[in-house]
Amino acid sequence: MDNLIEKLYEHFCTIASSTITTDSRNCPKNSIFFALKGESFDGNLYAEKAIENGCSLAIIDNKSCQKDERYWLVDNVLQTLQDLASYHRIAMGIPVIGITGTNGKTTTKELLAAVLSKKYNVLYTQGNLNNHIGVPLTLLNIRNEHQLAIIEMGANHPGEIKTLVHIAAPNAGLITNVGKAHLEGFGDFNGVINTKSELYDFLRETGGEVFLNLDNEILTEKAFGIERYGYGLNDKNGIVNGEIVDNSPYLSLSFSKLGETKTYIAQSNLIGKYNAENIMAAVCVGIVMGVEPQAICDAISNYMPQNNRSQFTKTEKNDLIIDAYNANPTSMKASIENFASLNLPAKMLILGDMRELGADSETEHQKIIDLLNEKDLLNVFLVGECFAKTQHSFASFSNVEELSKYIKKRPISGQTILIKGSNGIKLNSIIPLL
């Protein structure tokens, strides 16, 4: 296998011009096609088309699809992709920062990239390509001009972070937080904690470093035996300490280095106090990596959230706080509590089901209902079958199509609306109606 990877890597660096594709419809000249398989497709069946469309090699694991010497037969295409990525990462030798966590990892990754780009040429995970395919594809994009890489890693089952860290081999790591998400796959909350902590396990074994939110007791406990750079809003023993300055609705915070009196103001375009720890993570990494504090502030102020993550949008009819990319009990609770604390007129909430909670689903959805009642939030639309099973007095819709029909008949205006739910509920589709 090592000899195969070496030969493949030589081809990757020379003939293929470091270009990989997994889509037979998108084949740059001389690129290498990896015939990945999924539940409903088999890339082996498209290998011939990939060669026809310009690929110089097709990596396959189905012998019946091997036509000539341009088709390289391996035991497992995915494993070969991961092995090639690992080989390339080691060959390039640049520092790698690994990021995982239940909530905020994509926002934190993008904030880190914005901050570190003030001083370095940074490669970072695009979008949410953070799984067993996305991580190797990202690593294979490292070029000679890159000075460091930021690799986001996601998981919904035990052992997934362990797999990803052995591919990415990070020198440093950051876990944003741990919360109740993907419980169906993890089994319980301890499963979430242990899986995310697989990043710490790798760094402990390899002598790496960790950027640590000292306000998070679980992470502080799990980060034993690793060199740490701490940050916090409450715990003031980190190398940088912060304080929320404003949250109406955009989040602004001040920070200072340990032992220094000079403070800096980071004004963001993010909504929600829960984003303060994400900003502080970026500040901490920036300080450790030698980025000037004012440059850090500039990077944060210029970062614009996208893809329905903590966005504030004014339409002709309403003001929208859009956080509809993902949802779990931890993030849903944080969003509602933040929304309740804002001094905004005519508050309304449109909440979608939280997915992949398994046996805890009914209990966790009821807790959200109880929180709405506790915060005296009365103007609420619920979307999805899970919320429909709870005890509540709010307007309820079985799906987003049903809600859309309702809004078209009864247009909503003059409201400040929080839109929060799992991506699968597709709440983003109602935004044009609001």
- Nearest alpha carbon to residue 280 among 299, 260, 255: 255
pLDDT recorded at residue 158? 87
Question: Could you read off the pLDDT of 170-181 as tens digits, one per residue?
Answer: 999 999 998 776
Confidence of residue 119 (pLDDT cuts 50, 70, 90): very high
3-state secondary structure at position 299: helix
Confidence of residue 368 (pLDDT cuts 50, 70, 90): very high
Question: Could you read off the pLDDT of 186-230 as tens digits, one per residue?
Answer: 778 888 888 999 999 999 999 999 999 999 999 999 999 999 999
The percentage of residues in the chain with a pLDDT greater than 70, rounded to a whole number, is 99
Mean pLDDT over 102-111 rounds to: 92
Identify whether the C-beta of residue 123 lies closer than 8 Å to the C-beta of residue 141.
Answer: yes
pLDDT recorded at residue 308? 67
Confidence of residue 11 (pLDDT cuts 50, 70, 90): very high
pLDDT recorded at residue 217? 94
Contacts 24+ apart (CB under 8 A), 287-290: 287/239, 287/240, 287/257, 288/211, 288/229, 288/239, 289/116, 289/119, 289/120, 289/148, 290/119
**Least confidently predicted of 45-54, 167-176, 295-304, 315-324:** 315-324
Q: How far apart are CA 64 and CA 70, in angstroms?
A: 14
Cross-strand bridge partners of residue 152: 99
- Judged against a pLDDT cut of 80, whether residue 2 lies above it is answered with no
Question: Could you read off the pLDDT of 39-75 as tens digits, one per residue?
Answer: 889 999 999 999 999 999 999 999 999 999 999 999 9
pLDDT recorded at residue 191? 84
Query: By 3-state DSSP, what share of the chain in percent is helix, strand and coil, each rounded to 5?
Result: 40, 20, 40
Domains of the chain from N-terminus onward = 2-74 (3.40.1390.10), 93-302 (3.40.1190.10), 311-433 (3.90.190.20)
pLDDT recorded at residue 1? 53
pLDDT recorded at residue 87? 97
Mean pLDDT over 91-101 rounds to: 96
In this structure, which amino acid lies at residue 68?
A: D
For 357, other C-beta atoms within 10 Å of its C-beta total 21
Mean pLDDT over 378-389 rounds to: 94
